[in-house]
Amino acid sequence: MGVDVCWDPAAAQPPARQAAFRSMTAVTAGDKAAWLELFAGDAVVEDPIGPSMFDEEGKGHHGQDGISAFWDKTIANVERFQFTVRDSHAAGDEVANVGTITTYLPGGYRVDTDGVFVYRVREDGLIVSMRAFWETERAMATARKAEDQDKLSEAL
């Protein structure tokens, strides 16, 4: 997995923005251990928020065990990630990133997930909450063979 984070995390960024960048970097590197170290022991991941194929009850993935299981069920099954953050709004101990997560899946497929990704950190910079606002149907509608889109991008 290559590191494809398209965002300039300039020096002196708010702690939540720094944590979000570290999270994206660990995901693109496929480094589960580094990713889990970013979360507080009582953290919650809601990705996406509400009931989904990843969280049938829609209550989120709680604590290190729940977040680790979320990685195994979702992130571990993606061949490569690319994060594009178009805008980022930091306030207090939170940041809301607006962007697209492009996932390259087994079988040569690519899916673009547009959304708002909100991280909240505690004083020591550990993530206590990661909430992802995105729509499954919209993301799945973008599914396509990766090489088809890559050829189109090269031609432009």
Asked if residue 4 is part of any domain, the answer here is: no
**What is residue 33's DSSP assignment?**
H
In percent, how much of the chain has pLDDT > 90? 85
Asked if residue 145 is part of any domain, the answer here is: yes
Answer whether residue 34 shows pLDDT above 50: yes
Answer whether residue 148 shows pLDDT above 90: no
Quick check: 80 and 1 in contact, CB under 8 A?
yes
Q: 153 or 91: which carries more pLDDT confidence?
A: 91
In percent, how much of the chain has pLDDT > 70? 87
β-bridge partners, 101: 83, 113
pLDDT digit string (tens) for 94-123?
999 999 999 999 999 999 999 999 999 999
Asked if residue 106 is part of any domain, the answer here is: yes
Answer whether residue 3 shows pLDDT above 50: no
Residue-wise burial string across 73-107, b where 16 or more C-beta atoms lie within 10 A, e elsewhere:
ebbeebebbbbbbeebebeebbbbbebbbbbbeee
Asked if residue 155 is part of any domain, the answer here is: no
Domain that holds residue 117: 14-150
Asked if residue 2 is part of any domain, the answer here is: no
Asked if residue 9 is part of any domain, the answer here is: no
Per-residue pLDDT band at 146 (split at 50, 70, 90) = confident
CATH number where 111 lies: 3.10.450.50
Lookup: tokens for 114: 């547009």
- 3-class secondary structure, 86: strand
The tally of domains found in the chain comes to 1
Asked if residue 127 is part of any domain, the answer here is: yes
Q: 18 or 12: which carries more pLDDT confidence?
A: 18
Distance CA 34, CA 84 (A): 21
Q: Positive or negative CA dihedral for 30, 74, 128, 100?
A: positive
Lookup: tokens for 31: 């480094």
Asked if residue 64 is part of any domain, the answer here is: yes
